[in-house]
């Protein structure tokens, strides 16, 4: 018995609790043969329920492969028919919507570079008014939950009943191991804002490297996300886009088999041990908040001193020393330098803002 959904994509949308959905396929549709091979192999090796493939590729930099365009839609539809799978592609404007509906594509998705722009999203939503096709909405490039939730609502407002979210990670200037920072808490916020909207994870665009895909997928399953969208290509190294993160169908089959997928009511089951540990965390967090209160009292005194001495609020050398010291200290306490950097940069930023408002007030 597979741990992934074996029901139709429509049933997955319509039922509140369901096994996770697997969406898979190449980043870009490159040729009729490539997408056909991808579809047939995925069907053979994985519990895939929806085939994906990009026809128009919104690339960050010009000059990279920008997709075959309209012609690729028929190749995708034919590959889906041969494998007995519904198919999905990305749309970024009303013209794309028209072409995709003509070609008989079953499901649409909105890419991260489109979700950022409410004008584009509204244009696409208007083009879909009266067409009840399922839509997946990727998170915007940067972590702005309002834009993500807003885009989903724009589709619901034109009468689309089946809208789901895709968490594909967020652009970050702090380059860590991932191509796009997962910032998992953002998906919790979306869940809190739109509790009836399913969220699938795209571990490929988060990971950026194929070796990391299974770890990211496991975290998504541990967080009870509702499915996965994974990029899979018959010859990943030859892929015209996102080569480093794509996996073969056989590799994807292994990844899926290795995943630990919890029961659908997992999030409601809390063992006593977990309740106890969460209680411990709550106590520690209370202590942290009390310490922060003390810290900000000192910050206030510093603001008064700076005002008296006519010193500037932001002193670059102080900031560099403060953050560097904590980054060096972190590993002695089992805390990574990246974490120390982020934590103390945030603390310092808020201290500076607080001081600026205090000094202004007294002027
Ligand atoms: C994609 O799915 O191939 C894609 C371009 O994704 P994103 O919009 O998440 O960057
Ligand atoms: Mn891609």
**pLDDT per position as a tens digit, 85-136:** 999 999 999 999 999 999 999 999 999 999 999 999 999 999 999 999 999 9
Q: 270-362 adopts what CATH topology?
A: Chorismate Mutase Domain, subunit A (1.20.59)
Q: At residue 292, does pLDDT exceed 90?
A: yes
- Residue 175's alpha-carbon distances to 1, 180, 270, 342, in angstroms, are 39, 9, 35, 12
Residues with CB under 6 A from ligand 1: 27, 54, 111-113, 138, 168, 205
Poorest-pLDDT segment among 46-60, 183-197, 267-281 = 267-281
CA–chain centroid gap for 311, Å, is 43
CA 85/CA 44 separation, integer angstroms:
12
CATH of range 9-267; options 3.40.50.720, 3.20.20.70, 3.50.40.10, 3.40.50.1980: 3.20.20.70
* pTM flag (> 0.85): no
Q: What's the pLDDT at 22?
A: 98
Mean pLDDT of 187-210: 95
**For a substitution probing ligand 1, which of 87, 202, 240 has the most ligand atoms within 8 Å of its CB?**
202
pLDDT tier for residue 1 given thresholds of 50, 70 and 90: very low
Cα 10 to the center of its chain, rounded Å: 22
Q: What's the mean per-residue pLDDT of the chain?
A: 92
Identical fold for domains 9-267 and 270-362, yes or no, is no
Instruction: Return the domain boundaries, the chain.
Output: 9-267, 270-362
**Alpha-carbon distance values, 152 to 182, 209, 279 (Å):** 20, 29, 35
Task: Please tell me the distance between residue 288's alpha carbon and the centre of ligand 1 in angstroms.
Answer: 38
The atom of ligand 1 lying closest to the CA of 166 is: 9
């Amino acid at each position: 018995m597979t741990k992934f959904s074996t029901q139709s994509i429509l049933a997955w949308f319509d039922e509140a609790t369901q096994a996770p959905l697997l969406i898979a396929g190449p980043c870009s549709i490159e040729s009729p043969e490539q997408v056909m091979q991808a579809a047939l192999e995925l069907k053979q090796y994985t519990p895939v329920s929806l085939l994906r493939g990009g026809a128009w590729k919104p690339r960050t930099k010009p000059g990279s492969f920008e997709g075959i365009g309209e012609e690729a839609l028929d190749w995708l539809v034919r590959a889906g028919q041969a494998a007995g799978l519904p198919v999905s592609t990305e749309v970024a404007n009303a013209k794309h919507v028209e072409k995709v509906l003509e070609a008989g594509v079953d499901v649409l998705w909105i890419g991260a570079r489109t979700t950022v722009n409410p004008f584009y999203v509204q244009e696409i939503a208007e083009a879909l008014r009266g067409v009840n096709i399922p839509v997946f909405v990727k998170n915007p490039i940067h972590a702005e939950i309002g834009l993500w939730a807003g885009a989903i609502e724009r589709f619901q407002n034109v009468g689309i009943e089946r809208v789901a979210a895709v968490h594909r990670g967020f652009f970050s200037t702090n380059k860590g191991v991932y191509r796009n920072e997962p910032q998992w808490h953002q998906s919790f916020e979306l869940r809190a804002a739109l509790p009836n909207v399913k969220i699938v994870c795209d571990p490929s665009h988060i990971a950026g490297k194929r070796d990391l895909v299974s770890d990211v997928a496991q975290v998504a399953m541990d967080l009870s996300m509702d499915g996965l969208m994974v990029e899979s290509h018959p010859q990943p190294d030859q892929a015209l886009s996102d080569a480093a993160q794509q996996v073969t169908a056989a590799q994807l089959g292994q990844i899926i088999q290795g995943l630990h997928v919890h029961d659908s009511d997992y999030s409601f089951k809390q063992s006593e041990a977990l309740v106890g540990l969460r209680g411990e965390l709550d106590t520690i967090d209370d202590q942290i908040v009390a310490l922060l209160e003390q810290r900000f009292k000192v910050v206030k005194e510093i603001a008064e001193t700076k005002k008296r001495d006519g010193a500037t609020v932001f002193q670059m050398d102080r900031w560099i020393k403060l953050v560097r010291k904590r980054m060096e200290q972190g590993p002695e306490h089992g805390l990574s330098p990246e974490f120390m950097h982020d934590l103390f940069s945030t603390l310092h930023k808020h201290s500076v803002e607080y001081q600026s408002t205090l000094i202004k007030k007294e002027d």
